[in-house]
């Protein structure tokens, strides 16, 4: 394994607002937290675009030789889950189980590699209570009318992930008691950590801090410390989490643990449909099965969602879907053609040998630039097409063909689109 100093992976860090050379806390090891689905509803292709850039990140870190310890989570007891279950006349398990099962099927369809253990909010209650107890003892959290709130003004780094102007923070006490508020990007006041039990039929646990349930804001931190501890290397999610959520996560864990929680924060941009945000009211929400019904297979969908740059918006249109399906088919055909051993064999040439040696460096150059997948794929196709041209359509010499195949196979452990499954 190469030393960390020569790997050259550069990531755009939302926290510092600049690109930085990646360096883990422990040489050769990386701890990664990746946001998972809120399982009150099925993930759509916008969610899967986020899960796929996270998949690419983990796969590329492993490609570089790192041992990756990853957590992805299921959020299953936040406000929306409970209210949706009540609206549909079922319990939380009845609502979330089919969604979880669909998620596993669709991850397999899209070639998303998942960790062996995926915690749920409902399986990290003890950790949530432990965090809240620590925060209360240190003066960051307090009880009010049965609920428990976090006061952001007690934590000096609050709002730094987003870049929040704290001078506009209200001087009087304001409390926000819901997990989320539609249309409100920032809750300028104290946010809720614990929903105290009000004697109704709402799901709750009996705990040392009283009966109730953890608020959404403390659920990710609880699942993080349960699986990765108080210190990790990379925290990933969609751009929506830049508002409130990730700053809440950071404040909770750092206020409790009194150490730097995470050094690198990554956020993927929105996927839109025909230049509009996906929404049920517009009827433009797309699920993986819709693309399969459009004539795509799992690899087509994977290619459609990873091809580009994860920090740029992806506008999905009918024309674009058709073009992407043709593009991956063409890519796989060109790879198969250049690696074919049938027919007459071409003579080797210095340029042919040089082109093969460029495959890995060209791929890594693109990926080291903050995971620029589109550039990596385009450059790979350029090399493949050049080899086909240099061979005059004949089979590549055995040694060159073997080197090309090994390089492309290695690259495809990250991309997962160059060879048919």
Note whether 161 and 250 are within 8 A (CB).
yes
Average pLDDT in the 156-167 region? Answer: 94
Report the chain's mean pLDDT, rounded to a whole number.
94
Q: b/e for 153-182, b at 16 or more Cβ within 10 A?
A: ebbeebbbbbebeeeeeeeeeeebbbbbee
Residue 136: name the closest of 231, 252, 219 by CA: 252
Report how far residue 69's alpha carbon sits from residue 89's, in angstroms, rounded to the nearest whole number: 38
Q: Is the pLDDT of residue 129 over 60?
A: yes
Answer yes or no: is 281 within a domain.
Answer: no
Based on the domain organization, do 325 and 267 belong to the same domain? no
Residue 186 confidence (pLDDT): 84
Note whether 363 and 375 are within 8 A (CB).
no
Residue 311 confidence (pLDDT): 97
Q: How far is CA 409 from CA 252, 307, 339, in A?
A: 42, 18, 11
Report how far residue 82's alpha carbon sits from residue 76's, in angstroms, rounded to the nearest whole number: 8
pLDDT tens digits along 140-150:
999 999 999 99
Residue whose token pair is 């459009």: 294
First-to-final CA distance of the chain: 28
Residue 145 sits in a domain whose CATH number is: 3.40.50.620
Q: Is the pLDDT of residue 281 over 70?
A: yes
pLDDT tens digits along 202-248:
789 999 999 999 999 999 999 999 999 999 999 999 999 998 899 99
Based on the domain organization, do 239 and 367 belong to the same domain? no
Based on the domain organization, do 9 and 70 belong to the same domain? yes
Count how many domains the chain has.
2
Residue after which a domain boundary falls, among 250, 273, 296: 273
Map residue 75 onto helix, strand or coil.
strand
pLDDT tens digits along 106-122:
999 999 999 989 999 99
Enclosing domain of residue 89: 4-273
Residue 244 confidence (pLDDT): 87
pLDDT tens digits along 31-61:
999 988 989 999 999 999 999 999 999 999 9
Report how far residue 220's alpha carbon sits from residue 248's, in angstroms, rounded to the nearest whole number: 10
Which tokens belong to 369? Answer: 């630039």
pLDDT tens digits along 322-343:
999 999 999 999 999 999 999 8
Based on the domain organization, do 263 and 339 belong to the same domain? no
Average pLDDT in the 78-96 region? Answer: 90
pLDDT band at 180 (very low <50, low <70, confident <90, very high): confident
Which tokens belong to 95? Answer: 């609502």
Average pLDDT in the 92-115 region? Answer: 95
- Classify the phi-psi angles of 27: left when phi > 0, otherwise alpha if psi is within -120 to 50, otherwise beta: beta
- pLDDT > 90 in the chain, percent: 85
Note whether 59 and 414 are within 8 A (CB).
yes
Residue 366: name the closest of 279, 295, 308 by CA: 308
Report how far residue 241's alpha carbon sits from residue 414's, in angstroms, rounded to the nearest whole number: 25
Report how far residue 275's alpha carbon sits from residue 259's, in angstroms, rounded to the nearest whole number: 42
Based on the domain organization, do 259 and 125 belong to the same domain? yes
Map residue 370 onto helix, strand or coil.
coil
Report how far residue 257's alpha carbon sits from residue 362's, in angstroms, rounded to the nearest whole number: 41
Based on the domain organization, do 221 and 326 belong to the same domain? no
pLDDT band at 7 (very low <50, low <70, confident <90, very high): low
Based on the domain organization, do 157 and 32 belong to the same domain? yes
């Amino acid at each position: 394994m190469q030393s960390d100093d020569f790997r050259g992976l550069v990531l755009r860090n939302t926290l510092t607002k600049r690109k930085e050379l990646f360096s883990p806390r422990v040489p050769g090891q990386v701890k990664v937290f990746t946001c998972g689905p809120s399982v009150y509803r099925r993930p759509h292709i916008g969610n899967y675009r986020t899960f796929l850039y996270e998949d690419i990140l983990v796969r590329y870190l492993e490609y570089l030789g790192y041992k990756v310890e990853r957590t992805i989570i299921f959020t299953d007891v936040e406000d929306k889950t409970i209210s949706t279950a009540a609206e549909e006349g079922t319990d939380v398990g009845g609502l979330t189980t089919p969604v979880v099962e669909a998620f596993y099927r669709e991850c397999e369809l899209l070639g998303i590699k998942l960790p062996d253990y995926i915690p749920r909010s409902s399986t990290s209650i003890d950790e949530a209570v432990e965090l809240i107890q620590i925060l209360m003892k240190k003066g960051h959290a307090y009880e009010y009318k049965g609920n428990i709130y976090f006061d952001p003004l007690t934590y000096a780094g609050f709002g730094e992930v987003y870049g929040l102007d704290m001078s506009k923070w209200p001087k009087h006490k304001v409390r926000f008691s819901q997990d989320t508020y539609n249309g409100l990007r920032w809750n300028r006041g104290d946010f809720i950590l614990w929903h105290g039990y009000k004697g109704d039929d709402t799901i709750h646990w009996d705990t040392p801090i009283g009966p109730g349930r953890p608020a959404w804001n403390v659920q990710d931190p609880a699942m993080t410390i349960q699986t990765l501890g108080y210190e990790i290397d990379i925290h990933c999610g969609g751009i929506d989490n830049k508002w409130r959520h990730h700053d809440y996560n950071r404040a909770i864990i750092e206020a409790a643990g009194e150490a730097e929680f995470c050094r690198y924060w990554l956020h993927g941009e929105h996927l839109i449909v025909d230049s509009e945000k996906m929404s049920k009211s517009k009827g433009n929400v797309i699920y993986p099965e819709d693309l399969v019904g459009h004539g795509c297979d799992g690899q087509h969908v994977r290619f459609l969602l990873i091809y580009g740059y994860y920090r740029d918006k992806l506008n999905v249109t009918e024309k674009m879907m058709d073009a992407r399906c043709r593009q991956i088919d063409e890519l796989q055909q060109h790879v198969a053609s250049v690696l074919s051993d049938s027919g007459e064999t071409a003579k080797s040439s210095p340029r042919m040998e040089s082109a093969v040696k460029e495959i890995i460096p060209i791929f890594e150059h693109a990926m080291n630039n903050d995971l620029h997948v589109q550039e990596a794929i385009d450059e790979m196709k350029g090399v493949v097409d050049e080899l086909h041209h240099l061979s005059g359509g004949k089979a590549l010499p055995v040694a060159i063909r073997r080197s090309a195949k090994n390089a492309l196979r290695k690259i495809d452990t990250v991309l997962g689109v160059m060879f048919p499954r």
